[in-house]
């Protein structure tokens, strides 16, 4: 058997990276936790790295053996200069209309610099076999590190690419951040997207390293389905925000609802669209 094989017979050290999962009940966080739990169940050593202020536990339970490490240094040990810059960014950042050099770099480093520097130190110290970054902030951070050994990296995208990578209203509105979202993808060995049509959006050189991996879904046994006496309901749960594109769901349901009179569509969530 080849030593570089990722067979389950050879335990590997797998590192998942997310900018934050504390108390977050989003879909990407659930996929991350369930994937980490499943890989750990196969005998691999799994660790999740975050960089967040909150010390709350993750919303979704971690399997015994999955390690969670927060790379963010507590404010009590952060320098006075960094604390002042953070305070300035929090006050000025929402009002900035034009991110001109060097303001764009100062604001970006204040928000993201600690993440990728701490990540680089941790990776080089603990040397995982593979690092998997979930969502753009982590993909950028992992793409910027300089590992001291051959580290295999994966960029895992969980949304419509154009919205995640180009939309000013999504993630960081700083144009520098949007440029780095795209450029960082070229530094990863593998890029995962949810659907085949998402791959077509990217340039040819990036398509060559892409894998189509839909979100994980736990299979329900036929016996449980057969004994289910609940109402026939199509259920959607998520943040009520434009990026979730609930309009598509509502328009689609309006076209077929007449053919399924015994079914009901229910949408649950909170967000800026609540009450619309």
Strand-pair category, 232-237 with 263-268: parallel
Least confident of 22-26, 88-92, 165-169, 262-266: 88-92
The verdict on 235 and 121 lying in the same domain is no
The number of domains in the chain is 2
> Are 21 and 106 in the same domain?
yes
Q: In which region does residue 133 sit, left (phi positive, over 0), alpha (psi from -120 to 50) or beta (all else)?
A: beta
Q: Are residues 61 and 190 in the same domain?
A: yes
What would the mean pLDDT of 176-193 be, rounded to a whole number? 96
- The whole-model pTM stands at 0.84
Same domain (yes/no): 135, 259? no
Round the average pLDDT of the chain to a whole number and report it.
87
Instruction: Show the domain range for 252.
Output: 222-268
Residue 48 maps to a domain: yes
Could you read off the pLDDT of 190-212 as tens digits, one per residue?
A: 999 999 999 999 999 999 999 99
Whether 50 and 98 share a structural domain: yes
Mark whether 140 and 235 lie in a shared domain. Answer: no
The answer to whether residue 63 sits within a structural domain is yes
201 occurs within a structural domain: yes
- Taken in order 116, 106, 179, 74, the sign of the CA dihedral is positive
Give the whole-angstrom CA distance, residue 39 versus residue 30. 14
Output the six-digit token pair for 229: 């006496």
Query: Do residues 71 and 119 lie in contact, with contact meaning Cβ atoms separated by under 8 Å?
Result: yes
Q: What pLDDT, in 10s, does the model give residues 92-118?
A: 544 445 677 888 888 898 888 999 999
Q: Is residue 273 a part of any domain in this protein?
A: no
What the block records as the tokens of 136 is 């753009």
Q: Kindly state whether residues 155 and 235 are assigned to the same domain.
A: no
The answer to whether residue 3 sits within a structural domain is no
- Strands (E) across 51-143 are located at 67-70, 130-134
193: Cα separation from own chain's centroid: 12
CATH assignment of the domain containing 62: 3.40.50.2000
């Amino acid at each position: 058997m080849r030593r570089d094989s990722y067979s389950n017979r050879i335990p590997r050290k797998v590192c998942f990276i997310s900018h934050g999962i504390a108390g977050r009940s989003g879909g990407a966080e659930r996929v991350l936790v369930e994937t980490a739990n499943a890989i750990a169940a196969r005998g691999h050593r799994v660790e999740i790295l975050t960089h967040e202020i909150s010390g709350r536990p993750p919303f979704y339970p971690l399997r015994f053996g999955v390690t969670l490490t927060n790379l963010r240094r507590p404010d009590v040990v952060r320098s006075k200069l960094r604390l002042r810059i953070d305070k300035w960014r929090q006050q000025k950042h929402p009002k900035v209309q034009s991110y001109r050099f060097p303001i764009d770099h100062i604001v970006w480093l204040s928000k993201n610099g600690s993440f990728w520097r701490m990540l680089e130190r941790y990776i080089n110290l603990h040397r995982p076999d593979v690092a998997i970054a979930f969502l753009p902030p982590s993909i950028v951070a992992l793409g910027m590190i300089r590992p001291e050994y051959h580290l295999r990296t994966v960029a895992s995208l969980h949304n419509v690419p154009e919205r995640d990578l180009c939309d000013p209203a999504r993630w960081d509105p700083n144009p520098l951040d949007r440029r780095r979202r795209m450029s960082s993808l070229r530094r990863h060995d593998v890029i995962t997207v949810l659907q085949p049509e998402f791959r077509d959006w990217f340039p040819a050189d990036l398509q060559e390293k892409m894998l189509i991996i839909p979100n994980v879904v736990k299979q329900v046994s036929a016996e449980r389905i057969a004994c289910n006496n609940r109402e026939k309901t199509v259920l959607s749960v998520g943040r009520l925000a434009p990026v979730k594109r609930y309009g598509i769901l509502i328009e689609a349901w309006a076209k077929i609802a007449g053919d399924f009179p015994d079914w009901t569509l229910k949408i649950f969530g909170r967000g800026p669209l609540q009450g619309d």
